[in-house]
Amino acid sequence: MQTTDTQFITTVERHFLEGKRHNPHATSEFSWLLSGITLATKIIASQIQRAGLLEIVGEAGRVNVQGEEVQKLDEIANNTLIRCLGYRGNVGLLVSEEDDEPHVLSDQPDSGKYIVLFDPLDGSSNINANVNIGTIFSIMERDPNCTSPDMKARVLQPGYRQVAAGYVVYGSSTVLAYTSGHGVNMFTLDPSIGAFVLAQENIRMPAEGKIYSVNEANSRQFPEGYQQYLDWAKTEEAGYSSRYIGSLVADFHRTLIRGGVFLYPPTHKSPNGKLRLLYEANPLAFVAEQAGGMASDGRQRIMDKQPVQMHERTPLILGSKAEVEKVLSFLPPAGAAH
């Protein structure tokens, strides 16, 4: 990575535009949208770094639409994304995990061409412990055939319609990984120049990796097949290690780089799992598949799921192809009673 000679700096926006030979969405208009996301995540990164000093660590004193305690930084991240994307011109709808309703910026087909969905601060219950957290985003094109006045209906599109998706992980460095359907590229925020600079192109997730990542405290509540998988993975012959941060973005980022599988199965408390299809599962599934990995809900491909509700949850099995397939081999085949 070369950041001292501007001639060689490849920012995320420049990299995206240079891909226009393969990608019909690689227009300056779309790059303008993307720069709204990078601007917002740079602001969020700087707020997180100074959170203790600014006294913005802790709960905001209300619960969100999911019934979860909202952290002050959740609100800051959400407002920052809305502010930075709100005047980009080509964004029709902004859909946040934190908000009950979509933000309607334009319902005109031309000016409101894109729908941006996001989890503004994933893993935010970890903020107080200084553990890595992240922002996840998904970009879809508005379906011209869907003219419903109900804006929520316009949002309910399956993940295969995503035109771009990615995440930013706020860790020892701030890293952005994104795909627009032509592989996965990774950028590191260089704080000295305030730009995300190309770190690695066309990342491939290892095809296998002996790490499973799951909240094992829930394991007695998992359907039998998941329990059998975990029993198998713990045998000496299988030889797996367990790693669980409790921040999806951070657990996924490790899985992307090292390989393995992340699982959030159904539990008694959350029969559909905990994670959200539109803001968490779909964008990370897109990144995983573009890196050679796989994502399933235990019965079907995540990106084939037709959402019926904006904040719908899904079980998630995400990671290296061989590892996801191994978990699936313990589960009843699709169509069988669970």
Closer residue to Mg ion in complex, CB, 15/313: 313
Instruction: Write down the least CB distance from residue 9 to Mg ion, Å.
Output: 31
Closer residue to ligand AHM in complex, CB, 64/180: 64
Q: Which two tokens stand for residue 128?
A: 């107080």
Residues facing residue 185 across a β-bridge? 178
If one asks whether residue 119 binds Mg ion (CB under 5 A), the answer comes out as yes
Of the candidate spans 101-109, 116-124, 294-302, 307-315, the one that interacts with ligand AHM by CB under 6 A turns out to be 116-124
Instruction: Write down the least CB distance from residue 113 to Mg ion, Å.
Output: 26
Which residues, 274 to 303, sit near ligand AHM by CB under 6 A? 274
Binding ligand AHM (rule: CB under 6 A), the pick from 75, 119, 289, 323 is 119
Which residues, 17 to 46, sit near ligand AHM by CB under 6 A? none
Instruction: Write down the least CB distance from residue 21 to Mg ion, Å.
Output: 34
Instruction: Write down the least CB distance from residue 79 to ligand AHM, Å.
Output: 16
Three-state SS annotation for the chain: CCCCCHHHCCEHHHHHHHHHHCCCCCCHHHHHHHHHHHHHHHHHHHHHHCHHHHCCCCEEEEECCCCCEEEHHHHHHHHHHHHHHCCCCCEEEEEECCCCCCEECCCCCCCCCEEEEEEEEECHHHHHHCCCEEEEEEEEECCCCCCCCCHHHHHCCCHHHEEEEEEEEECCCEEEEEECCCCEEEEEEECCCCEEEEEECCCCCCCCCCEEECCHHHHHHCCHHHHHHHHHHCCCCCCCEECCCCCHHHHHHHHHHHCCEEEECCCCCCCCCCEEHHHHHHHHHHHHHHCCCEEECCCCEHHHCCCCCCCCEECEEEECHHHHHHHHCCCCCCCCCC
Binding ligand AHM (rule: CB under 6 A), the pick from 124, 174, 185, 282 is 124
Closer residue to Mg ion in complex, CB, 281/331: 281
Closest C-alpha among 181, 155, 189, 323 to residue 243: 323
Binding ligand AHM (rule: CB under 6 A), the pick from 75, 122, 289, 323 is 122
Q: How many positions of this chain bind ligand AHM (CB under 6 A)? A: 11
Choose from Mg ion, ligand AHM, none: what does 274 bind? Cβ within 5-8 Å by kind: ligand AHM
If one asks whether residue 157 binds ligand AHM (CB under 6 A), the answer comes out as no
Residues facing residue 275 across a β-bridge? 314
Place of tokens 């985003």: 137
Q: Which two tokens stand for residue 64?
A: 């969100």
Q: How far apart are CA 57 and CA 60, in angstroms?
A: 9
Binding ligand AHM (rule: CB under 6 A), the pick from 36, 92, 102, 123 is 123
Of the candidate spans 110-118, 121-129, 151-159, 160-168, the one that interacts with ligand AHM by CB under 6 A turns out to be 121-129
If one asks whether residue 115 binds ligand AHM (CB under 6 A), the answer comes out as no
Which residues, 46 to 105, sit near ligand AHM by CB under 6 A? 68
Closer residue to ligand AHM in complex, CB, 123/166: 123
Which single residue brings its beta carbon nearest to Mg ion? 122
Closer residue to ligand AHM in complex, CB, 247/314: 247
Which residues, 122 to 181, sit near Mg ion by CB under 5 A? 122
Which residues are near ligand AHM by CB under 6 A?
A: 68, 119, 122-125, 215, 246-248, 274
Q: Which positions lie near Mg ion, rule CB under 5 A? A: 119, 122
